[in-house]
């Protein structure tokens, strides 16, 4: 499967940057030679040297900056990249030039806010190679302090994460943006498969009989599951990046990485997939934290930072 589109585009951008640098160097040399009284060289007409950046100045400054990214700049300059197309050599350069703009995405991230308003107990296979079945989609847990259903919290956080990832230059799709849907876990996986997402992040919150249980965890497909063998290493790498970023960024307690064999949404996935359990809605203080807007922002920034680190590794 081809997941190299974004990388190819980045390579082209790097190439454009190099072209600009080479053209600028050529212009500098031409001027230097021209100014040497005894060089004997024919002075070239200025029009012969077309520096692409002259055109780019008519576009916005961010676009010009992103043409020649320094190493690591992707992380420091995560704004979406919208670049003016460069003119072919010899095209007239004009301030009124309305070059065609091309949107450059760093890749598609699919978010799956877990559950929905009503569960569906009809059964579906837990894996393409298994006769074992599970409910198509369950109802999820409920906040003991907030009284909020898990499906509401999951969508709140997923929508915030979507905005954060878009700011970092990713394309983002959600399996649902409302509660009145009936999407099974197989169907959710197939949506991301069909879109050939670079990564799927499933957003959930935990529940436990004990109100003391607390902490976030990041789940990924277990290495022993044959149907997810091809996506397992990348899924684990993404899970590790997100877990580390959550530890650094939130200060909340971590329950670590959890490999899972039994999740329908993992077993049907043909693209790398992780599931973030944000914390326990059955723990009164964690339930309240997870609905606190400041904590939610901190949490999604951390997930996004983890995704960013993972994606940069995959871009190399």
Rule CB under 5 A: which residues touch Zn ion?
Answer: 114, 140, 204
User: What contacts 42, CB < 8 A, 6 or more positions away?
Assistant: none
Q: Residue 308 Cβ, how far from Zn ion at the closest point, in Å?
A: 25
Question: Which of 114, 143 has the CB closer to Zn ion?
Answer: 114
Q: Residue 115 Cβ, how far from Zn ion at the closest point, in Å?
A: 6
199 is written with which tokens? 């990564």
Q: Residue 294 Cβ, how far from Zn ion at the closest point, in Å?
A: 23
Residue 216 near residue 298, CB atoms below 8 Å: no
Question: Which of 107, 114 has the CB closer to Zn ion?
Answer: 114
Question: Which of 114, 265 has the CB closer to Zn ion?
Answer: 114
Q: Residue 72 Cβ, how far from Zn ion at the closest point, in Å?
A: 36
How long is the chain? 316
- Please tell me the distance from the alpha carbon of residue 87 to that of residue 94, in angstroms, as a whole number: 11
**Beta 216-221 vs 254-260: how paired, if at all?**
parallel
Cα atoms in the Cβ-side hemisphere of radius 13 Å centred on 14 = 12
- Please tell me the distance from the alpha carbon of residue 212 to that of residue 255, in angstroms, as a whole number: 13
Question: Which of 137, 311 has the CB closer to Zn ion?
Answer: 137
Question: Which of 78, 114 has the CB closer to Zn ion?
Answer: 114
Q: Residue 140 Cβ, how far from Zn ion at the closest point, in Å?
A: 4
- Please tell me the distance from the alpha carbon of residue 289 to that of residue 146, in angstroms, as a whole number: 10
Q: Which residue is nearest to Zn ion (CB)?
A: 204
Dihedral sign of CA atoms 31, 37, 38, 42 in order: positive
Question: Which of 219, 237 has the CB closer to Zn ion?
Answer: 219
User: What contacts 213, CB < 8 A, 6 or more positions away?
Assistant: 206, 280, 282, 283
| Closest residue by Cα to residue 55 from 26, 16, 25 | 16
Q: Residue 248 Cβ, how far from Zn ion at the closest point, in Å?
A: 25
């Amino acid at each position: 499967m081809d997941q190299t589109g974004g990388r190819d585009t980045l390579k082209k951008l790097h190439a454009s940057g190099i072209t600009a640098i080479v053209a600028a160097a050529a212009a500098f040399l031409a001027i230097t030679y021209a100014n040497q009284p005894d060089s004997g060289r024919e002075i070239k007409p200025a029009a012969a040297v077309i520096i692409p950046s002259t055109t780019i100045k008519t576009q916005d400054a961010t676009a010009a900056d992103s043409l020649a990214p320094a190493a690591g700049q992707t992380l420091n300059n995560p704004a979406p990249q919208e670049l003016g197309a460069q003119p072919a050599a010899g095209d007239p350069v004009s301030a009124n030039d309305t070059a065609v703009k091309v949107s450059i995405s760093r890749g598609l991230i699919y978010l799956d806010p877990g559950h929905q308003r009503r569960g569906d107990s009809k059964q579906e296979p837990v894996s393409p190679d298994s006769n074992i079945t599970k409910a198509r989609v369950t109802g999820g847990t409920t906040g003991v302090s907030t009284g909020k259903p898990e499906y509401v919290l999951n969508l709140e956080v997923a929508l915030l994460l979507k905005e954060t990832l878009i700011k970092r230059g990713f394309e983002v799709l959600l399996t649902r943006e409302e509660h009145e849907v009936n999407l099974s876990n197989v169907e959710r996986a197939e949506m991301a498969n069909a879109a050939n997402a670079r990564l799927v992040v499933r957003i959930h919150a935990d529940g436990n009989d004990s109100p003391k249980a607390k902490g976030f965890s990041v789940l990924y497909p277990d290495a022993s599951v044959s149907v997810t063998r091809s996506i397992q290493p990348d899924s684990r790498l993404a899970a590790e990046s997100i877990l580390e970023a959550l530890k650094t960024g939130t200060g909340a307690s971590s329950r670590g990485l959890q490999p899972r064999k039994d999740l329908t949404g993992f077993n049907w996935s043909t693209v790398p997939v992780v599931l973030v359990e944000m914390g326990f809605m059955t723990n009164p203080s964690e339930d309240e934290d997870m609905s606190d807007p400041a904590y939610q922002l901190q949490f999604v920034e951390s997930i996004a930072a983890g995704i960013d680190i993972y994606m940069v590794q995959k871009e190399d």
